[in-house]
């Protein structure tokens, strides 16, 4: 029997290279790996598919590229497939859905990247019996990481916000670029 209560720590993930946000795009050589941009605290701020970074201008800091990413899901490896897929399914129901990327973190480090389609395929391909088995340790819930899409003239806000799910009413934006006051734009 296949179980959606299986933890992501047991999933096969695409390999990912963690790179600090101050790094220039031209110094990142990872043609076969996802590139996950992390801030000074080690938290993921963006995820790019293999080969994407190499198309950017070489002197561009990764934090500038990260502002163009609309959002992704960050999840602890102890989270279950079902918890992650529930959040991904909710994002897929949006009026303007985008491909969802899932960044899996284990003990504060990026363990890898996946997609909802790949996780669903693993659930159907892998036989895993788990009736009556309790999962070890605390279970954490996934979080959606989004960048504010508000823009004035050619300036994109880019404020990073974490959500458990899409709020019915958007909160005020942190507005780090001192644009006009605005609510967070999903």
Longest pairwise C-alpha distance within the chain = 57
pTM over the 0.75 mark? no
Residue 177 lies in a domain: no
Which of 113, 44, 123 is closest to 81 using CA atoms? Answer: 123
**Domain CATH code at residue 88:** 3.10.580.10
DSSP H or E segment with residue 117: helix 116-125
Domain range spanning residue 152? 8-163
CA distance 108 to 16: 14
pLDDT digits (tens, 9 = 90+) for 98-124: 778 899 999 889 999 998 888 888 877
Number of domains in the chain: 1
DSSP β-ladder status, 44-48 and 143-147: unpaired
In a domain, 43, yes or no: yes
CA distances from 32 to 16, 36, 38, 142, 147 (A): 9, 13, 19, 26, 26
pLDDT in tens, 135-145: 455 666 678 88
125 or 135, greater pLDDT: 125
């Amino acid at each position: 029997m296949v179980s959606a209560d299986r933890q992501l720590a047991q999933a096969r993930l695409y390999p990912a290279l963690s790179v600090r946000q101050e790094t220039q795009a031209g110094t990142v050589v990872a043609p076969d790996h996802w590139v996950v941009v992390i801030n000074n605290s080690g938290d993921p701020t963006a995820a790019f598919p293999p080969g994407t970074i190499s198309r950017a201008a070489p002197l561009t800091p990764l934090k500038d590229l990260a502002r163009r990413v609309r959002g992704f899901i960050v999840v602890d490896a102890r989270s279950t497939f079902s918890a992650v897929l529930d959040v991904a399914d909710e994002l897929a129901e949006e009026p303007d859905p985008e491909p969802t990327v899932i960044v899996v973190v284990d003990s504060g480090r990026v363990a890898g990247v996946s997609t909802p389609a790949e996780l669903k395929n693993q659930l159907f391909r892998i036989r895993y019996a788990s009736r009556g088995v309790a999962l070890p340790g605390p279970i954490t819930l996934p979080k959606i990481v989004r960048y504010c899409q508000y823009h004035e003239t050619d300036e994109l806000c880019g404020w990073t916000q974490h959500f458990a799910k899409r709020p019915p009413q958007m909160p005020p934006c942190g507005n780090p670029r001192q644009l006009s006051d605005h609510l967070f734009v999903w």
